[in-house]
Amino acid sequence: MAESNGDCLFVIRSGMYGEPLTTKGSFSVEGGRTVYNWTEKHSDNEKETHFVMTLIKEESKAIVVRNGDVTSRMVFESGNKTTSSMNTSFGVIDVVIDTEYINFPGGLIDGAEISYTLDPDSGEPIRNIFSIKRLLQKEQI
């Protein structure tokens, strides 16, 4: 049975951004999977980017699909290295993702956190902690 909580607001934190981003989105719980959908736009000269993150707790895995100026499908597996590619305006960049841990939703936390290192084939490794938290306030959506 699927539990859906529909539209909500998220706060997203990432070392890739300066400040936390508050954005509209939706989430649902389908069996052992939690699915987050949201959009981001950081500046007027970039187009909106759509994200879908599927968390699979039993497999210690997160899958993030990104469609916008950059298109990618990245798989994060706790304690493992995975490979992916990012389709950018500069061409395709292959990356190795070394996931340190994934904190899954549960308990007092209505969100998720992923700690990882992204190692592009063309540059220096980038260490990052990404987190998404659902806001419980009933703000205007």
Domain count across the chain: 1
Residue 115 lies in a domain: yes
DSSP 8-state code for residue 104: P
- Summarize pLDDT for 25-72 with one digit per residue, the tens: 998 988 889 999 999 987 788 789 999 999 999 999 999 999 998 999
Taking alpha carbons only, the member of 57, 98, 53 closest to residue 72 is: 53
Residue 110 lies in a domain: yes
Residue 141 lies in a domain: no
CATH number at residue 73: 2.40.128.20
pLDDT level of residue 18 (50, 70, 90 thresholds): confident
Supply the range of the domain harboring residue 42.
2-134
**How many CB atoms sit inside 10 A of residue 112's CB?**
21
Report the Cα–Cα distance between both ends of the chain, in Å, rounded. 26
> In b/e form, how buried is each residue of 49-71, taking b as 16+ CB within 10 angstroms?
bebebbbbeeebbbbbebbeeee
Residue 139 lies in a domain: no
The label of the residue with tokens 């981001």 reads 40
